[in-house]
Amino acid sequence: MMSLLMPLMLSAMMAVQTVAMMEVHVPDQPMVALHGRDVTLNCSFRPAGTFNASDVTVFWQLTDTKRGVYGYSEGHVQLVDQAESFVNRTNMFPSELGLGNASLLLKKVVVADEGSYTCFVRVKEYGSAALYLQVAAPYSKPVVTIQSESNLRPGEEVALTCVAYGGYPEADVMWQDGAGRNLTDNVTTSVVANEEGLFSLTSVLTVVLEPNSTYSCQLINPLLGEEGNASVTITGQNISFPPVALWVTIGLAVCLLVLLVALAAVCRRKIKESCEEARREAEEAKELEEDESKTAMTLLKS
């Protein structure tokens, strides 16, 4: 019977919403629920006069799809039209209906629960109001890794990867250097949802390799704020030359050494030859001088 009456009741409620015959209040701002936790969707009402709790009819539904979430009428729970996804996950507070509390308890919130919910209340007159539920899940602590931890060469580009899991909604990623400057260029961020709708986030920063440089990855959840950060420092010990470059360097050093030795040998030989030539010239000059002296003595005697 309730299944047949519910659409008629909803149509009547919708028809009188603009009349605002009864005040129904829900939060103006979106409500935030943590994934896997329970949340209470607040809804209160204030009828025009006195009433009994048994006179109250409450019905919750998804605003966009009109799917039933929970029903309560004539002192009994009415779940005939309840959507399958809410089975065994909803409840109200019947003892507080007399106080004007029509709030809904939603258990073990999932990402699919996010959306707009309408609270319909009838106590002689009708009234309704809609609220928006947002779902949030904290990410795991981010981890930063270097693409290649060996054979790093100064001046080359290197990829730094920041990874975090199991969060919702999509988080913002901020990369900074050791001086706190934002690094927005050469950043690529991607997200992948699992079967629960939770995200795995991967952000890649490409930088020119310099020794003793620090880079940090900061994760910011738009609903939960900053969730954590991680950093990596590239020191001089991380930077080395590949084997090919090492052997080329050794070969050039050997060639230079051989060249220096050969040059020294040539210089030594040249110096030695110069010295011998100077000695011969000195001896020839001495002999010439002696011959001239003898000739002069002979002329004097004659």
Instruction: Retrieve residue 210's tokens.
Output: 């310099």
pLDDT digits (tens, 9 = 90+) for 260-294: 777 777 667 777 667 667 677 666 666 666 666 66
Per-residue pLDDT band at 12 (split at 50, 70, 90): very low
* Domain-wise residue ranges, the chain: 2-136, 143-238, 244-302
* CATH no. for 2-136: 2.60.40.10
| pLDDT (0 to 100) of residue 234 | 82
| pLDDT (0 to 100) of residue 193 | 96
| pLDDT (0 to 100) of residue 157 | 84
Same fold, 2-136 and 143-238: yes
Distances from the Cα of 240 to the Cα of 10, 109, 150, 207, 235, angstroms: 73, 51, 7, 17, 11
Q: What is the mean pLDDT of the chain?
A: 83
Q: How far apart are CA 217 and CA 161, in angstroms?
A: 9
Per-residue pLDDT band at 13 (split at 50, 70, 90): very low
User: What are the φ and ψ backbone dihedral angles of 25, each rounded to 5 degrees?
Assistant: -120, 135
Q: How far apart are CA 99 and CA 117, in angstroms?
A: 21
Q: Which residue type, as a one-letter code, is found at position 270? A: K
Q: Which fold has domain 143-238?
A: Immunoglobulin-like (2.60.40)
Per-residue pLDDT band at 298 (split at 50, 70, 90): low
> Quick one: average pLDDT of 104-130?
96
| pLDDT (0 to 100) of residue 7 | 43
pLDDT digits (tens, 9 = 90+) for 217-257: 999 999 999 888 999 988 765 454 445 555 556 666 766 77
> Quick one: average pLDDT of 199-222?
92
- Torsion, Cα 261 264 269 271, to 10 degrees, reads -170
Instruction: Retrieve residue 13's tokens.
Output: 């409620």
Report the range of poorest mean pLDDT among 18-32, 149-163, 242-256, 277-291: 242-256
- Asked whether the predicted pLDDT for residue 183 surpasses 60, the reply is yes
Q: How much of the chain, in percent, has pLDDT values that exceed 70?
A: 75
> Quick one: average pLDDT of 14-32?
74
Per-residue pLDDT band at 2 (split at 50, 70, 90): very low
**Residue bearing the bigger pLDDT, 300 or 97:** 97
